[in-house]
C-alpha cells in the first residue's frame, strides 16, 4: 500500500515536470485533430406548392408549382347567332379548358373562330335543353358551362365561378351578376315562379299590373347582394354546373322546346339537395332580348305558356304557390 502511494506520487511529479518543459502538450489547444470529410448536403425534393430552388441558389426564386384545379368545359348553342359569337367567343375561349360550339341551324358559325373551338353541326334543329345535353355528352370535364351566344363574360368571370364551386362540394349551379350592354343591372336572379304571377306577366293583365312594379318579390328587385347568396333560380344564359349533379338529376329536360328549361333544372337540383349560388363577383354582359315581355299572343308567348304548363305538370306542388 505504501509502495503504491509512492509510485503514484512519483508519476504526479513527473507529469508536473513535463508540463513545465512543454506547457501546451496534452492540452486541447495543442492537440492535433483529423479533419473529417465533409458530407454532401442532401437536397430535399420540393413539396407541391412549395417554393422551387434552382442550381445552388439557396433563396427561393418566388415561383410555385401549379395547384391542380377542376377543369371547365363550355357549351355554346348558336341558332343563327354568328354575329354575336364574333364578340362572345373570343372573350370566353381563353377562360375555359374546352369549348364546344353547337350550330343548331345554318349560318350559326362565325367566319373566324378562336383556337381550340370545336364545332358540332346538327342535322336538324334541336331544343335548347336537348342541345345542352348533347354538349355535355360531347365534353369531358367535371364543370360544364352553358352559355348563350350573346353572353360576354368579364376576363375573370369563369375563374370566379369555378373557384367558388371548388370550395363547395354541394354547389351544383352557379350564376354570375348580369348586366345589360349599357352596364345597367339585369334581374337574372329570381324566385321560383307562381301561377298567379305568371298569368299576370303573360297576359294583358300586365298592362294593369306592371311586373317590375307588382312582382318585385319574383324578380328580387329590392335585393341586389354584393356577396354570394343562395337562390331559387337564375337565367340560363350563363350557368356553370357540376357534371355530377347533371348526371344525378338527369340533365336538362329536352321536352321544353324553349323557355322554363332553366327554371326546371334549378328546381330539380333544389329537390335533389344541390345548392344554387348567385356569385356577383363574376360579371357577364348579356343582351337579353326578352321577346315574350314585349308582345302578347305571339308564337314565343305560346311556347312560354306550353313550357309553364309542362313545368306545373312535372311539379304540381307549385300550383299551391299562387302569389
H helices of 68-186, in order, are 82-92, 128-137, 157-166
Residues 6+ apart with CB under 8 A from 168: 275, 277
Average pLDDT over residues 132-141: 98
User: What residues pair up with 117 in beta bridges, in sequence order?
Assistant: 99
Note whether 232 and 266 are within 8 A (CB): yes
Superfamily of domain 72-191+225-287: Spore Coat Polysaccharide Biosynthesis Protein SpsA; Chain A (3.90.550.10)
Q: Is the pTM of this model over 0.85?
A: no
List the chain domain ranges.
Answer: 72-191+225-287
Mean pLDDT of 6-14: 61
The yes-or-no verdict on residue 64 having pLDDT over 70 is no
Q: pLDDT value at position 203?
A: 60
Q: What percent of the chain has pLDDT over 90?
A: 59
Give the model's pLDDT for residue 244.
98
Amino acid at each position: 500500500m505504501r509502495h503504491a502511494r509512492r509510485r503514484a506520487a512519483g508519476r504526479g511529479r513527473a507529469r508536473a515536470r513535463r508540463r513545465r518543459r512543454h506547457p501546451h502538450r496534452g492540452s486541447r489547444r495543442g492537440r492535433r485533430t483529423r479533419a473529417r470529410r465533409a458530407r454532401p448536403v442532401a437536397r430535399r425534393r420540393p413539396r407541391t406548392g412549395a417554393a422551387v430552388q434552382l442550381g445552388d441558389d439557396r433563396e427561393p426564386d418566388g415561383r410555385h408549382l401549379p395547384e391542380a384545379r377542376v377543369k371547365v368545359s363550355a357549351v355554346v348553342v348558336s341558332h343563327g347567332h354568328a354575329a354575336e359569337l364574333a364578340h362572345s367567343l373570343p372573350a370566353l375561349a381563353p377562360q375555359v379548358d374546352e369549348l364546344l360550339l353547337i350550330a343548331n341551324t345554318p349560318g350559326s358559325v362565325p367566319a373566324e373562330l378562336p383556337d381550340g373551338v370545336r364545332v358540332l353541326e346538327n342535322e336538324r334543329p334541336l331544343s335548347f335543353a336537348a342541345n345542352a345535353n348533347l354538349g355535355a355528352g360531347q365534353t369531358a370535364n367535371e364543370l360544364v358551362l352553358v352559355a348563350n351566344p350573346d353572353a360576354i363574360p368579364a376576363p375573370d368571370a369563369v375563374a370566379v365561378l369555378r373557384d367558388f364551386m371548388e370550395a363547395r362540394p354541394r354547389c351544383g349551379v352557379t350564376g354570375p351578376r348580369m348586366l345589360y350592354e349599357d352596364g345597367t343591372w339585369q334581374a337574372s336572379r329570381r324566385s321560383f315562379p307562381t301561377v298567379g304571377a305568371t298569368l299576370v306577366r303573360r297576359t294583358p293583365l300586365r298592362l294593369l299590373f306592371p311586373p317590375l312594379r307588382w312582382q318585385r318579390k319574383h324578380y328580387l328587385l329590392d335585393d341586389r347582394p354584393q356577396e354570394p347568396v343562395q337562390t331559387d333560380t337564375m337565367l340560363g344564359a350563363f350557368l356553370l354546373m357540376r357534371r355530377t349533379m347533371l348526371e344525378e338529376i338527369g340533365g336538362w329536360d329536352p321536352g321544353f322546346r324553349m323557355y322554363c328549361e332553366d327554371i326546371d333544372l334549378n328546381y330539380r337540383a333544389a329537390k335533389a339537395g344541390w345548392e344554387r349560388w348567385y356569385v356577383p363577383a363574376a360579371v357577364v354582359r348579356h343582351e337579353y332580348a326578352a321577346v315574350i315581355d314585349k308582345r302578347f299572343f305571339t308564337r314565343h308567348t305560346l311556347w312560354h305558356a306550353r313550357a309553364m304548363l309542362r313545368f306545373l305538370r312535372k311539379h304540381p306542388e307549385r300550383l299551391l304557390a299562387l302569389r
